[in-house]
Structures are given as C-alpha cells and as structure tokens.
Structure 1
Amino acid sequence: MRKEKPGRRRSAPSDEPMMDINTTPLIDVMLVLLIMLIITIPIQLHAVNLNMPTGNPPPSDFKPEVLRIDVDERSNVLWNGEVIADRAEVERRFEVVAAQAVQPEVHLRPDKRARYETVAGLMAAAQRTGLTKLGIVGSEQFIP
C-alpha cells in the first residue's frame, strides 16, 4: 500500500462536477401544467341537443291501410291471406304498393319454422321497391 502525505486528500468522485440534470423542478412544472389543462378543458356532454316540436300533433282522421304478409312453416307467402306462388309476383305487388301516394303499413308475420332465406328475401324485395313502412309482427314467438 502506498502511503499518502498527511496534508493531501485524495480526489474523490464527489469532487467532480455533477453532469446529470435535476428533473424534479421539470416534473413539478409539468404536473402543474397538466392540472391547469384538465381544469380548463370544458366538460364534454354525451348528449345531442335537438329542437323538438312543442305541443301535441292534431289527431289524424286518416287510418292507415295495413297490408299483412304471412310466411307459414313451409315458407309459403300469404298476401292478406292469399297464397303467392313465386317471388316475382311478390315483387310486382310490392312495386304497385310502393307507387301509391300514401303507402300502407306492411306487417310481415313470419312463422318461426319458416326459412330465413324466404323472410330475408321478402324484406330485401320491399327495400328494393321503395317500401318505407315495413314492420315485423309477432316476434315474441322467437323468445325461448
């Protein structure tokens, strides 16, 4: 071992200048800015403001016509109780109904054992021809 002279100190690593930046003030400033940003951002509402009409609409003297289309368990299409043989006839009748000034309400009543393709084809044909008042009636039979 070497002997050191009594008046001299050995240079320690702590005597050297610190090369790291002090990040504590930077973090403090960033946290203050973040809190200010959160406070100043307006609260976002998840609502859509609509201008709805006020008052009650006058009662309608016109009772809408109802067109009933049934699909039985063998996927036969019944137009107000009358059996329709093919899909082309159904589309032709849809076109006639869609051309009316006031379209009737179309109530589609499929049986739960009817083929899906038949019911979906009827709905697609109604949409293609421009029928706007189509509803599926009797869907409580599909609830187990």
Structure 2
Amino acid sequence: MAMSAGPAENDAPMSDINTTPLVDVMLVLLIIFLITVPVAIQTVPVKLPSVVFEATTTKPENVSLSVRAASNGACEVYWGQTRVTAQELIDRAVVKLRKEIDKQGGPSAPGLELPEVHIRGDVNTPYRCIGGAVFNMQRAGFTRVGFISEPPAGYATARL
C-alpha cells in the first residue's frame, strides 16, 4: 500500500479515505453470513404425501355426509339427503355404529370392519363447519373419516 504525503508546501488536511480495509472487512462478513445462514435455518424433515385420486368403493354401511355453509354463515350438515343438527348427527352416528357392530357379531368379533364416513364439503365452506362434522363423527366412535373430492378436469383416475 502506498501512502501519499501530499505536497510539502500545502498544509491542508488530507481528505482521501483508504477503503481497502473496509472492503476486506465487508467481504469477510459476507462469507461468514453465507456459511452460517444455512446452518441457522433448520427445518423438520417431513415426507409429504403425494396426492392420488382413487375411486372410492361405496358400501351400504358407509355414512355419506354433505357439509356446506348457509347464507347466514351457519353450518349445514346433511346425512344423505336429510339435514341434521350437531346433536342429531352424533345420535344417528352412535345408533348406526352400534347396529353395524351388532350385525357383525359384537365388539369382540374377529375381523370386525367398521363403516367409514365420507364427507363432501363445499369449496366455499369454512373449515369450522367441516372440522365440526369430523369431530362429531369421531366423538360418536367412527375411526375412518375421509373426504370426497372431485379430480381436476382431464385427470384420468387409475386403479392401482
């Protein structure tokens, strides 16, 4: 590095700044940040499911629910074609599950296959409505709750 003392006859102060140390410090900081940022950002490894549309097999013992929001914001739940309240939904679900278990030989019967719940939710329905239907069906004892969706246009379903 060269240093300029300036002309000897001029006693004015020097106004030049040596920027080389500043650039050196900034480059070192840049390298440190580039190395430490990926280490600081940690994520939990999660394997997300790949979505595949499968055709459902409709069994007579399965329960089909339709959920939508009314114009006033209330939740409407339909068991088949009949509109039910939250308490009626739980009561009907308990009766349906008990009948199915008794039909198969009781709760200790070998190979007991419990019915499923298939929920069709309108795309404009708030989550609280659909979540409430899922919660009520699980509270009644149903362990398998699924959602019926419509595949995108032009999508061909394939059986595996």
The structure with higher relative contact order (CA 8 Å, sep 6+) is 2
| TM-score (normalised: structure 1) | 0.47
Give the TM-score, by structure 2 length. 0.43
Higher-Rg structure is 1
